[in-house]
Amino acid sequence: MINLNNPETAFALDAVRRAALLVKHIQAEMVTSALTKDDRSPVTVADFAAQALVGHLLEEKFPGVSLVGEESSAVLQIPEERDTLLTITRFLGEIFPQATPEKVCAWIDRGAGEAEDRYWTVDPIDGTKGFLRGAQYAVALALVVDGQPQIGVLGCPNLTGGYRENVEGEGSLLIAATGEGSWLTALEGGPQNEFTRVKVSPQDDPAQARLLRSFESGHTNTGQVDRFNQAMGGEAPPVRMDSQAKYAVLASGQGEIYLRLLSPGREDYREKVWDQAAGSLIVEAAGGRVTDLAGNPLDFSVGRRLLKNRGVCATNGHLHEAALQALRTVKAV
């Protein structure tokens, strides 16, 4: 069982639960049918608000520990974004009555920390287009010690049971800690909810591997993904989903392979630590395996990006070597 008496574990669960519920509240209020295609204000508000919430809670609980976050308040402090900052402050004020624009900016900038020997990393909203579509997105938080995630939490408001898409459901909260396995509980309800252990799929037939694929073609090399699936002899239909929610589905045994390939023209791209830390630990603690495209372990010790790694290959473990061989075959490495 996950040790809920560990102060860092308890903090991570509480912070992600509260941040995910805040984001869901903002989505319900701001994402409407009247929203224009180019209007990203709801996701901007939710993104900054979630990071501010986590930054504030971390400052209260562990004030000396670094937080590596995606956002900076600098863009909110220009006159043209004053209304956005006031909207963020309004939502946070419903939770923290002491919130002011100045305090909110300071809470956001708590995420300007460096990847030290011990640090937290947060992705306040992973899957912004999924958020705007009313589909899948995730709030991710991880504690990294000596370059390896030790605690990881994913909050997925539109997943039920860790894998079922359900925008009206109770949501999913997945947590893993090194040596304690991966666990699932409902996002709605609170700390009294029961936890269920999750484990990866036992599937070992490459042809039956369900490939977790993004809706967004810009996030990967779609042609290489298709050739990879052919090299695996893939017969199973893919599972299409936004965000680190794919890690939740993989850990829950409802998919076998998730890839982050290098997009055409972006071969020098390196993954950001907040995009991978929480989800990779949750998959590994559920019995899976996560490496880069060459089979090397992910190294979270070298800054805000995984500078020593190219791409990501996450599997249920049983199919990992077959996946790496297929990646070599299609020259994705």
pLDDT band at 1 (very low <50, low <70, confident <90, very high): confident
The closest of 301, 304, 309 to 147, measured between CA atoms, is: 301
CB-CB contact of 4 with 10 (8 Å): yes
CB-CB contact of 113 with 68 (8 Å): yes
Residue 2 lies in a domain: no
pLDDT, mean over the chain: 94
Quick: pLDDT tens for 111-123: 999 999 999 999 9
The proportion of the chain whose per-residue pLDDT surpasses 70, expressed as a percent, equals 96
**Is the same domain home to 188 and 221?**
no
Structure-token pair, residue 249: 């589905």
The closest of 8, 17, 12 to 155, measured between CA atoms, is: 17
| Residue 331 scores a pLDDT above 90 | no
pLDDT band at 219 (very low <50, low <70, confident <90, very high): low
**Is the same domain home to 168 and 110?**
yes
More confident residue, 266 or 20: 20
Segments forming the whole domain that contains residue 210: 206-329
Rounded to an integer, what distance in angstroms lies between the CA atom of residue 72 and that of residue 332? 33
Residue 148 lies in a domain: yes
pTM (predicted TM-score) = 0.95
Enumerate the active-site residues: 47, 128
Residue 263 confidence (pLDDT) = 80
**Is the same domain home to 189 and 227?**
no
Residue 103 confidence (pLDDT) = 98
Mean pLDDT for 273-282 is 98
Quick: pLDDT tens for 38-95: 667 899 999 999 999 999 999 999 999 999 999 999 999 999 999 999 999 999 999 9
Residue 192 confidence (pLDDT) = 81
Mean pLDDT for 6-26 is 97
| Residue 217 scores a pLDDT above 60 | no
| Residue 319 scores a pLDDT above 90 | yes
Residue 125 confidence (pLDDT) = 96
Residue 251 confidence (pLDDT) = 98
**Is the same domain home to 44 and 190?**
yes
Rounded to an integer, what distance in angstroms lies between the CA atom of residue 281 and that of residue 200? 13
More confident residue, 51 or 266: 51
CATH of the domain at 305: 3.40.190.80
**Is the same domain home to 29 and 80?**
yes
Q: Tokens 């039956």: give the residue.
A: 208
- Cβ count within 10 A of residue 107: 25
The 3-class secondary structure across the chain, one letter per residue, is CCCCCCHHHHHHHHHHHHHHHHHHHHHHHHCCCCCCCCCCHHHHHHHHHHHHHHHHHHHHHCCCCEEEECCCHHHHHCHHHHHHHHHHHHHHHCCCCCCCHHHHHHHHHHHECCCCCEEEEEEEEECHHHHHHCCCCEEEEEEEECCEEEEEEEEECCEECCCEECCCCCCEEEEEECCCEEEEEECCCCCCCCCEEECCCCCCCHHHCCEEECCCHHHCCHHHHHHHHHHCCCCCCCEECCCCHHHHHHHCCCCCEEEECCCCCCCCCCCEHHHHHHHHHHHHHCCCEEECCCCCCCCCCCCCECCCCCCEEEECCCCHHHHHHHHHHCCCC
CATH of the domain at 194: 3.30.540.10
Residue 220 confidence (pLDDT) = 61
Residue 169 lies in a domain: yes
Least confident of 145-149, 210-214, 275-279: 210-214
**Is the same domain home to 271 and 173?**
no
Rounded to an integer, what distance in angstroms lies between the CA atom of residue 175 and that of residue 225? 29
The closest of 110, 138, 173 to 27, measured between CA atoms, is: 138
Residue 216 confidence (pLDDT) = 62
pLDDT band at 266 (very low <50, low <70, confident <90, very high): confident
**Is the same domain home to 180 and 216?**
no
* First-last CA distance in the chain: 37
**Is the same domain home to 61 and 190?**
yes
CB-CB contact of 168 with 296 (8 Å): no
Rounded to an integer, what distance in angstroms lies between the CA atom of residue 268 and that of residue 274? 18
Q: How far is CA 201 from CA 75, 98, 263, in A?
A: 43, 46, 28
Structure-token pair, residue 89: 């402050």
pLDDT band at 190 (very low <50, low <70, confident <90, very high): confident
Structure-token pair, residue 97: 């009555």
Residue 259 confidence (pLDDT) = 96
**Is the same domain home to 214 and 311?**
yes
**Is the same domain home to 176 and 66?**
yes
Quick: pLDDT tens for 304-316: 999 999 999 999 9
Mean pLDDT for 193-216 is 93
The closest of 115, 128, 70 to 244, measured between CA atoms, is: 128
Quick: pLDDT tens for 150-180: 999 999 999 999 999 999 999 999 999 999 9
Between strands 196-198 and 211-213, the pairing is: unpaired
